[in-house]
Amino acid sequence: MKIDTITAYMNGGEDYELIFTIDQADFDKVKDLDDVSIIGHITDPSLGLRIVSKQGSEIDIAAAGWNAFTQSN
């Protein structure tokens, strides 16, 4: 499908894994936990809303997906 995996994580409709952020100072506390998958880190807000993958690709973060409260049937 040629879709970036980070884009799929951030916007996919099937939530198999909870996505959360932590302060970079707490990284060592979670990096070796079996049930936590590290997918990247968040940049400084002054650089814009982006997530940086382990491979170094930067992806803009934008609200996407379904909002049941604003969609009409």
The model's pLDDT over 13-72, given as tens digits with 9 standing for 90+, comes to 666 667 788 888 899 999 999 988 887 777 777 877 777 777 787 777 776 666 777 755
Q: How far is 8 from 21, CA to CA, in rounded Å? A: 17
More confident of the two residues 60 and 11: 60
**Would you state the pLDDT for residue 64?**
66
pTM above 0.75, yes or no: no
3-state secondary structure of 54: coil
**Would you state the pLDDT for residue 32?**
93
pLDDT reading at 1 higher than 70: no
**Would you state the pLDDT for residue 16?**
66
3-state secondary structure of 5: helix
Q: How far is 46 from 31, CA to CA, in rounded Å? A: 26
